[in-house]
Structure 1
Amino acid sequence: MANKTIMLVCSAGMSTSLLVTKMQKAAEAKQLDAKIFAVAAAEADQALSENDVDVLLLGPQVRFMEGQFKEKLTPAGIPCAVIDMADYGMMNGEKVLAKAEQLMANN
């Protein structure tokens, strides 16, 4: 998988930035060429318009937004899912990266 873009959305973009760092380390360990970044929910639409996103993952704290993101992204063929609360809480970059890869592979 080369040059994939994974976007994470959370309420403020703070806690998710630590998860991004862990996901980047996991991607490097797998020799995966991936751009992984996090934005606050308020900036998500702008980030989507400025980036060619392959998958969007929502932090558990913004899971209520899943429906509206799927409405926007499904027609464009971009998978969207909520990050598992345990994986988010443990900041398990490997598992969250694996979920993103699985979503892209199934798309």
Structure 2
Amino acid sequence: MKIVLICSAGMSTSLLVNKMQKAATEQGIEADIAAYPEAEVTKVGGDADIILLGPQVRFELKKIRGLFPDKPVEVIDMKDYGMMNGKKVLADTLKRLNG
């Protein structure tokens, strides 16, 4: 499973990626989770199973959904992002992917 997180610069989201990866490992889930700046979404989004946007780039949701109409594109919950709750963001992501 490939999860791509998009934010304005790819920096703050790196901490969340680490926490999500740790949660995935603890749960025995094989996942490739990475963060990228919004400018790279066209390069990295094609290989993703799901694209998650940081709250600071939520205004790009419609545009990115338009670029990837066959993929789930969602905004990370602002509270979970602020708390860097990787376990909850991963759980929400799995729910979106598994219906």
1:94 aligns with 2:91: no
| Aligned counterpart, 1:8 | 5
Note the residue ranges of structure 2 that are not aligned, 5 or more in a row.
Answer: none
Distance in 2 (CA, whole Å) between partners of 1:85 and 1:48 is 21
Query: Aligned pair count?
Result: 99
- Aligned positions of 1:27-42 closer than 5 A: 27-42=24-39
The CA RMSD measured in Å over matched residues stands at: 0.9
2:24 maps to 1:54? no
The aligned counterpart of 1:65 is 60
TM-aligned CA deviation for residue 103 of structure 1: 1.3
Corresponding residue number in structure 2 for 1:21: 18
Report if aligned partners of 2:45, 2:68 keep a CA contact under 8 Å in 1: no
Q: How far off is 1:73 after superposition?
A: 1.6
Identity over the aligned pairs, expressed in percent? 51
* Secondary structure of the structure 2 residue equivalent to 1:100: helix
Q: Deviations over 1:37-83 (max 9, x none)?
A: 0000011111124xx21000000000000001111222xx2101000
Give the distance between the partners of 1:78 and 1:104, measured in 2 at CA.
10
Moved more, 15-24 or 38-47: 38-47
Q: Distance in 1 between matches of 2:77 and 2:45?
A: 22
Q: Distance in 1 between matches of 2:41 and 2:53?
A: 10
Runs ≥4 in structure 1, deviation > 2 angstroms?
A: none
What is the letter of the counterpart of residue 28 of structure 1? T
